Amino acid sequence: MNTLPLLLYAAAGVAYAIHFARRDSSVGRAATTLLLFGALVHTFVIGMQTMEVRHLPFANFSRAVSSFVWLLTLSYLYLELTTDERSMGVFILPVIIGLQLIPVLHPGVERADPVLDSPWFWVHVSSLLFAYASFALAGVLGVTYMLQFKEIKKKHLGYFYTRLPSLQILDVMNSRAVTIGWMFLTFGVIVGAVWTAQARTIAPDDPNLRAMSIDDPKIFVALLTWLVYSFAVLARRTLGWTGRRAAWLSSVGFAFAMVNFLAINYFVTTSHTFY
């Protein structure tokens, strides 16, 4: 079921690349339309999977990645439709396409676990996925800010300068994405702590629950990610860290988030996992 959204995202990615190169408004509108269709089909897929397992499709790693891609797509579409700025699509779509390949190539198997039968768990995971989607946007905005800044610094106003939004607009977008992501990450961490305490009273011998401590790589990196973004939010408001410093921090934070969400979930066997 994940193949059709991938194909639509790939077609949108090609259209965004052509639009970025040629600045053709008709191709840009076609790219947005394809991405909207991809998001609608993906919404249908998420809905079908939810009906199949009778809860949000997050307990399977591949489905969690698919849900993250869906949230990232919706977040980007909101950004594009509210700013009427399509030039970021050429940077966002490779992330969307690359991650959507995971559930297509490795769909995985949904494993029932009574420990997860709690609304706290689903709120926890939903909040973290939305936070990571916001951080992905902020990370891409940070990279594009640096590309734009580099051209301006060299006084070579060329390819990127004529196609990307101004530094001020990129910085404002980055600030909003980081702040929203930090709020959802904070909420998700708090709800996760509540759920863990509750679940331990129900299944005190569950190995995953027993592994959940500061020594758990997933929890440790999640706290590091929270600290990076907390500093980014605080530094912007109190130290005046805007522009290039803010862009750099958002890129570093996104790297931490992806290490936690992808690398640790997939490769580190000493971390708790319910997949």
Q: What three-state secondary structure class fits 191? A: helix
Residue whose structure tokens are 């290490």: 259
Residue 255 CA, distance from chain mean position: 11
Is residue 238 packed enough to be buried (19+ CB in 10 Å), middle (13-18) or exposed (0-12)? exposed
All structural domains of the chain with their residue ranges: 1-108, 113-275
Residue 260 and residue 220 in contact, taking contact as beta carbons nearer than 8 Å: no
> Does 263 have pLDDT greater than 70?
yes
Q: What is the mean pLDDT of residues 250-256?
A: 90
Residue 100 and residue 39 in contact, taking contact as beta carbons nearer than 8 Å: no
Contacts for 129 with CB less than 8 Å, ≥ 6 apart: 58, 64, 67, 68, 71
Residue 17 and residue 90 in contact, taking contact as beta carbons nearer than 8 Å: yes
> Does 2 have pLDDT greater than 90?
no
Q: To which H or E segment does residue 3 belong?
A: helix 3-22
**What's the confidence (pLDDT) of residue 94?**
95
- What's the length of the chain? 275
Residue 92 and residue 173 in contact, taking contact as beta carbons nearer than 8 Å: no
Least trusted range by pLDDT, from 80-84, 111-115, 196-200: 111-115
> Does 75 have pLDDT greater than 80?
yes
CA angle at residue 148 from 146 to 150, to 5 degrees? 65
pLDDT tens for each residue of 203-224: 666 666 666 667 778 888 888 9
**pLDDT tier at 73 (50, 70, 90 boundaries)?**
very high
> Does 197 have pLDDT greater than 90?
no
> Comparing 210 with 137, which gets the higher pLDDT?
137
> Does 106 have pLDDT greater than 90?
no
Distance CA 207, CA 65 (A): 24
**What's the confidence (pLDDT) of residue 70?**
94
Contacts for 206 with CB less than 8 Å, ≥ 6 apart: 115, 199, 200
**What's the confidence (pLDDT) of residue 63?**
84
Least trusted range by pLDDT, from 28-32, 157-161, 206-210, 256-260: 206-210
**pLDDT tier at 40 (50, 70, 90 boundaries)?**
very high
Least trusted range by pLDDT, from 27-36, 49-58, 60-69, 126-135: 49-58
Contacts for 23 with CB less than 8 Å, ≥ 6 apart: 162, 163
